[in-house]
């Protein structure tokens, strides 16, 4: 299977070289890797250039955006600029972060999963972070969710979901839409990916409000947003997380920010979420 990889990178001089080398050392080499240098002001560009010169399947482009490190639109806009440089001759397309170290059989194992069932639309391993000289699971979400840092899509699934939405919450919406269109999602606990920068460590207050905005934009509704906010607050042991979600949701509702999905998608998403909640009590 032909694999294309797009890596948005903003000021990643400490990690981008490690990420690229781990992909160059794979047992199955990707057909193409495009690194999008997104307004970096450090040594990221020169590190990328050194890999472009050495490996013919790696290319790079430059993108100009804000200096803020925010989830959502910034990273997907960069991804989309990379996507524009690629042709349609791929089987799997990946959006990887620039601060990951992959085990050398990672892509080979992804191919195994995609070949195992033609209805597998997305597949990935798990992110691990370093704590006290040990690498431990970065346990921010359920194990059936693929982290935004390491997404891999079958081409047909990628097109069914309308590619990636340049908005906060894109990495949840993609899975919800994939399920709407009948695709299955596989997470492989045996694939341990080292995540060099824990998620959200540099996100600011605005990013926290954006989480609530995302709930509105996928038509989750008030009650499910409230439940989601409470769950995340308990997980993080932070009441401010709850208020951030609620404030963000209410701001989006008052501004009547455009939805990312239509009514039928929204109904499916709410039904899927309620089913998941009720299954925990059955």
- 172 with 210, same domain: the answer is no
Residue 258 within a domain: yes
The domain boundary, picked from 175, 195, 215, lies at 195
Question: According to DSSP H, which parts of 28-169 are helical?
Answer: 44-54, 73-84, 106-116, 155-160
pTM for the predicted model, two decimal places: 0.91
Residue 97 within a domain: yes
Average pLDDT of the residues of the chain:
92
Task: Please answer whether residues 174 and 122 qualify as being in contact, where contact means their C-beta atoms are separated by less than 8 angstroms.
Answer: yes
Return the residue matching tokens 């699934």: 157
| Domain span holding position 33 | 3-195
Q: Which two tokens stand for residue 92?
A: 């799997």
Residue 199: strand pairing partners: none
Phi, psi for residue 53 in degrees, rounded to 5? -70, -30
- 17 with 155, same domain: the answer is yes
- 211 with 189, same domain: the answer is no
Q: Between 94 and 68, where is the model more confident? A: 94
Phi, psi for residue 183 in degrees, rounded to 5? -90, 150
Q: Is 179 exposed, middle or buried (CB count within 10 Å of its CB: 0-12, 13-18, 19+)?
A: middle
Residue 93: strand pairing partners: 4, 153
pLDDT digits (tens, 9 = 90+) for 116-166: 999 999 999 999 999 988 999 987 667 889 999 999 999 999 999 999 999
Residue 200 within a domain: no
In this model, does residue 183 exceed pLDDT 90?
A: yes
pLDDT in the model for residue 142: 77
């Amino acid at each position: 299977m032909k694999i294309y990889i797009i890596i948005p990178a903003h000021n990643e001089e400490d990690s981008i070289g490690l990420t690229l080398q781990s992909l160059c050392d794979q047992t199955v080499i990707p057909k193409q890797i495009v690194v999008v240098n997104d307004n970096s002001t450090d040594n990221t560009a020169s590190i990328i250039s050194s890999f472009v010169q050495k490996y013919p399947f790696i290319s790079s482009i430059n993108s100009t955006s804000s200096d803020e490190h925010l989830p959502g639109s910034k990273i997907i806009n960069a991804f989309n600029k990379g996507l524009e440089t690629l042709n349609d001759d791929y089987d799997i397309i990946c959006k990887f972060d620039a601060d990951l170290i992959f085990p050398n059989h990672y892509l080979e194992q992804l191919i195994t999963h995609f070949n195992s069932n033609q209805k597998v639309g997305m597949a990935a391993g798990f992110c691990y972070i370093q704590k006290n000289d040990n690498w431990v699971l970065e346990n921010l979400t359920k194990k059936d969710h693929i982290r935004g840092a390491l997404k891999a899509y079958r081409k047909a699934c990628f097109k069914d979901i309308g590619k990636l939405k340049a908005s906060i919450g894109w990495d949840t919406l993609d899975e919800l839409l994939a399920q709407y269109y009948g695709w299955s999602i596989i997470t492989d606990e045996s694939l341990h990916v080292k995540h060099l920068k824990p998620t959200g460590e540099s996100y600011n207050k605005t990013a926290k409000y954006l989480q609530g905005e995302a709930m509105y934009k996928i038509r989750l509704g008030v009650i499910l947003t409230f439940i989601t906010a409470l769950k995340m607050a308990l997980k993080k042991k932070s009441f401010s997380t709850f208020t951030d979600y609620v404030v963000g949701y209410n701001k989006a509702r008052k501004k009547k920010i455009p939805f990312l999905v239509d009514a039928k998608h929204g109904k499916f998403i709410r039904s899927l979420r309620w089913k998941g909640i009720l299954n925990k009590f059955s």
